Amino acid sequence: MALTGWLKSFLGKNGLLVGLYILIAVAVWIVLLIVLPQLFMLDFSFRYNLPPGQVGGPQDVYTLSNYKYLVFGSPGNQAAYNWIDLSVFGQTILAAIFVTLIDLALCYPIAYYLAHVAKGATGRLLVLSLIIPYWVNEILRAFAFRIIFGASGVINNALIYIGVIDQPIDFIREDVALYTGLSYAYILLMIFPIYNAVESLDRNQVEAARDMGASWLRIHWRIVIPYAKPGIASGCTMVFMLTAGALAAPQILGGPSSLWFTQLIVQWFNTGGNWPRGSAYAIALLIACVAFVLFMMRIFKIRVGEIGR
Amino acid sequence: MSAPAVELDSVTIKFGAFTAVRDVQIDIKDGEFFSFLGPSGCGKTTLLRAVSGFLEPTVGAIRIHGNDMGGIGPNIRPTALIFQNLALFPLMTVWENIAFGLEVRGVAKAERRRRADELLDLIALPGQGDKMVSELSGGQKQRVAIARALAVEPQVLLLDEPLSALDLKLRQHMRTELRAIQQRVGLTFIYITHDQGEALTMSDRIAVMSSGVIEQVGPGADVYDRPDTAFVASFVGENNAFRGRVQEIAGEDVRLETAHGPLVGRLNPRNPVREGDEAYLFVRPESLKPAEADESLNRIEATVRQDEFEGSFHHLILAAGEDEALRMSSPNDGGREGGREGESLAVRFEPKRAVALPLGPLATE
Ligand SMILES: Nc1ncnc2c1ncn2[C@@H]1O[C@H](COP(=O)(O)OP(=O)(O)O)[C@@H](O)[C@H]1O
Ligand SMILES: [Mg+2]
């Protein structure tokens, strides 16, 4: 009842044509592009990897074996757990947290500066200089990072030239290139939500705190950050999710010893030819990330609704 | 004599080529309730921000109890500013708001709470400390802002039109309240407003400002009764301005030749008119009285255009020749004769109730 009422008023407000278009577009977007593929992935993840002839046959039944594999490894495994994959899983989450923290530390001051200090032309110029580099696509950017961080790259050459080091540092092996690339990749997704949140903060509150003797540190800690919390949460969530799910940067910039969980997933899908297991791995990553984000929001007392502001 | 609480020593403040405040020279006494009164955009906030340390004068110096404040930031100055929009912290409780300045100073939590409760008593909001700011009414927020400023024990409290967001009734109530709080704590208050009623009711002294310049400084009664400039006369309270040429100055008396014939008023020795010059003669609406048939001095023949009845007063709007909107106020004391709309009415005023001043810009508000 409420739904038909809402429908009526929605169509009445927007006109039939526009209203229907919006409804259908949103429905297609949600069902076809978000829900259905994920449902198929979910379904896949609970099935055996059967040759095409047996799909739909009597052996095509639901199983937890793909998830079990991630945790316990193959049945013939010596160790109790699948330490190799689990540690990649854990490292990926930890690395994503690390990258998120780096981005937060980098972006909060920039966002605050853009929102409250930079005025007019300076501000616009800054925003442009943040956005325009993103016209360069991810792969190109990753390889460019590889070049400047390479053994004979600009950075090593410069360091050697000014005499800080005499042997080139292997930034790739040390994963410096990887973390730099990942941190840079989603910086805008951190800056803009924080910018949005901070921007609506009344400047007088900052001045009032200052007038009462507060240091800049305290002003941020007590006034600005609590106010910007939803924006910070929103930025952190996006950066964390996307970093944990990144593929290109780890593949191109990762050192020989670093393996991203997404790379495992791709291996199962592609080289392994085992789509169900790949799906199970992907779903496991998704659930872990969502659970982690919800847990953090709980700790910082942020409601999901606030993030959408 | 100790140094004044606040000394503004030829303070000029420029924004680029624009001069927002020009050569202000004022000493504010310790414990004084001092108001800056002027139309919006005249530079009041700018001046107050210079006292609180958010901006530095381009020229001149500001001293607080004799100490030069040059280069001393707002976080260190012994002033507390109450913002036009109060700027209470919405994510903190009332008591945390009040105690914020103490928190900054590293006061322990229990002591902060105790001080906040004391201040809540002072502002007549006992036991409201655990509410959120959003749960308070406009007048209560107002008082919390005052308590928050008092908590840091400033030597000077600066108030930037703090009542402007309140409705009329509350505003009038808060005037009394503010004045009472000021007398209780004995602190120097610098209050800025564009509302002459506020300035007159609360202040020990008023500085009237126009376009960045101080036009007159003095007690409210002085500013109201003996304005120094045409701007002050027309901005502070209602005033009728008769324009004419000065015919004769005899002692304190000035005779102007106007469209209504000769009118006699008093000279302001601080800003005297000169014989032969054009000048204004200012007469308050309450100084205009109905004229008896035999009274010819300062007599003006007029027609009543409108009667704005306010309850305690009749505010008549009169047309007399080229002066089409003379104002006359008479108390609603039952003794009212004549002055129905459309009727003609002869009015007069006492020479000692009229001030002759040189021409100058009038307030447009
Ligand atoms: N930061 C600033 N930059 C440039 N002009 C300013 C600035 N602050 C105020 N002004 C100008 O100075 C004048 C006085 O402003 P203000 O002190 O806010 O007036 P008031 O408080 O009396 O209404 C105004 O014309 C205003 O536009
Ligand atoms: Mg102002």
Q: Does residue B54 belong to the interface with chain A, where contact is any CB pair within 8 Å?
A: yes
Q: Which chain A residues are Cβ-neighbours of B83 within 8 angstroms?
A: 204, 207-208
**Dihedral of the alpha carbons of B214, B217, B221, B224, in degrees to the nearest 10:** -20
Single-letter code of the amino acid located at B344: S
Q: Say how far apart CA B227 and CA B180 lie, in whole Å.
A: 28
Single-letter code of the amino acid located at A206: V
CA A13 remoteness from chain centre: 37
Angle between the N-to-C axes of helices A261-269 and A275-299, in degrees from 0 to 180, rounded to the nearest 10: 160
Q: Are strands B261-267 and B354-358 parallel, antiparallel or unpaired?
A: parallel
Closest chain A C-alpha to B76 CA, distance in angstroms:
6
Degrees (nearest 5) of the Cα angle B307, B311, B312?
105
Which strands form B344-348's sheet, in the order they lie side by side?
A: B289-290, B344-348, B299-309, B313-320, B323-331
Could you give all domains of chain A from N- to C-terminal order, each with its CATH number?
A: 74-307 (1.10.3720.10)
Residues of chain A where predicted confidence (pLDDT) is lower than 70: 1, 308-309
Q: B306 forms bridges with which residues in the sheet?
A: B317
- Is residue B21 lining ligand 1, measured as CB closer than 6 Å? no
Q: Which chain B residues are Cβ-neighbours of A223 within 8 angstroms?
A: 89
Atom of ligand 1 nearest to the CA of B38: 22
Q: Which of B11, B36, B46, B82 to mutate to test the pocket of ligand 1 (most atoms within 8 A of CB)?
A: B46
What is the whole-number distance in angstroms between the Cα of residue B40 and the centre of ligand 2? 6
Single-letter code of the amino acid located at B322: E
In 3D space, the residue among B252, B276, B258 whose CA is nearest the CA of residue B352 turns out to be B252
Mutate to test the interface with B, among A200, A210, A211 (most CBs of B within 10 A): A211
Query: What string of H, E and C letters represents the secondary structure of chain B?
Result: CCCCCEEEEEEEEEECCEEEEEEEEEEECCCCEEEEECCCCCCHHHHHHHHHCCCCCCEEEEEECCEECCCCCCCCCCEEEEECCECCCCCCEHHHHHCHHHHHCCCCHHHHHHHHHHHHHHCCCCCCCCCEHHHCCHHHHHHHHHHHHHHCCCCEEEEECCCCCCCHHHHHHHHHHHHHHHHHHCCEEEEEECCHHHHHHHCCEEEEEECCEEEEEECHHHHHHCCCCHHHHHHCCCCEEEEEEEEEEECCEEEEEECCEEEEEEECCCCCCCCCCEEEEEECHHHCEECCCCCCCCEEEEEEEEEEECCCEEEEEEEECCEEEEEEEEECCCCCCCCCCCCEEEEECCHHHEEEEECCCCCCC
What is the whole-number distance in angstroms between the Cα of residue B83 and the centre of ligand 1? 15
Atom of ligand 1 nearest to the CA of B39: 22
Full-model pTM: 0.83
Q: Looking at domain B6-225, which of 3.30.70.260, 3.40.50.300, 3.30.200.20, 3.30.300.30 is its CATH number?
A: 3.40.50.300
Closest chain A C-alpha to B210 CA, distance in angstroms:
25
- Joined together, the tokens standing for residue A193 give 């939500």
Q: Say how far apart CA B234 and CA B363 lie, in whole Å.
A: 6
Q: What is the mean pLDDT of chain B?
A: 92
**CATH fold label, B230-358:** OB fold (Dihydrolipoamide Acetyltransferase, E2P) (2.40.50)
Mutate to test the interface with A, among B15, B81, B93, B104 (most CBs of A within 10 A): B104
Q: Does residue B162 belong to the interface with chain A, where contact is any CB pair within 8 Å?
A: no
- Find tokens 């005037």 and name the residue: B175
Single-letter code of the amino acid located at A122: T
Q: Say how far apart CA B93 and CA B103 lie, in whole Å.
A: 14
Atom of ligand 1 nearest to the CA of B161: 21
What is the whole-number distance in angstroms between the Cα of residue B105 and the centre of ligand 2? 29
- Is residue B239 lining ligand 1, measured as CB closer than 6 Å? no
CATH 3.40.50.300 intervals, chain B: 6-225
Per-residue pLDDT of chain B (365 residues; tens, 9 = 90+): 578 999 999 999 999 999 999 999 999 999 999 999 999 999 999 999 999 999 999 999 999 999 999 999 999 999 999 998 999 999 999 999 999 999 999 999 999 999 999 999 988 899 999 999 999 998 899 999 999 999 999 999 999 998 887 888 888 888 998 999 899 889 999 999 999 999 999 999 999 999 999 999 999 999 999 999 999 999 999 999 999 999 999 999 999 999 999 999 999 999 999 999 999 999 999 999 998 888 889 999 999 998 888 888 889 999 998 888 899 998 888 766 657 888 899 999 999 999 999 999 998 85
- Is residue B44 lining ligand 1, measured as CB closer than 6 Å? yes
Nearest CA to ligand 1 atom 5: B15
What is the whole-number distance in angstroms between the Cα of residue B48 and the centre of ligand 2? 9
Q: Which chain B residues are Cβ-neighbours of A205 within 8 angstroms?
A: 87, 89
- Find tokens 């007399």 and name the residue: B320
CATH 2.40.50.140 intervals, chain B: 230-358
Instruction: Give per-residue pLDDT as tens, A173-220.
Output: 888 889 999 999 899 999 999 999 999 999 999 999 999 999 999 999
Q: Which of B13, B45, B48 to mutate to test the pocket of ligand 1 (most atoms within 8 A of CB)?
A: B45
Closest residue in B to A219 (Cα) is: B104
Kindly determine whether residue B104 and residue A226, on different chains, have CB atoms separated by under 8 Å: no
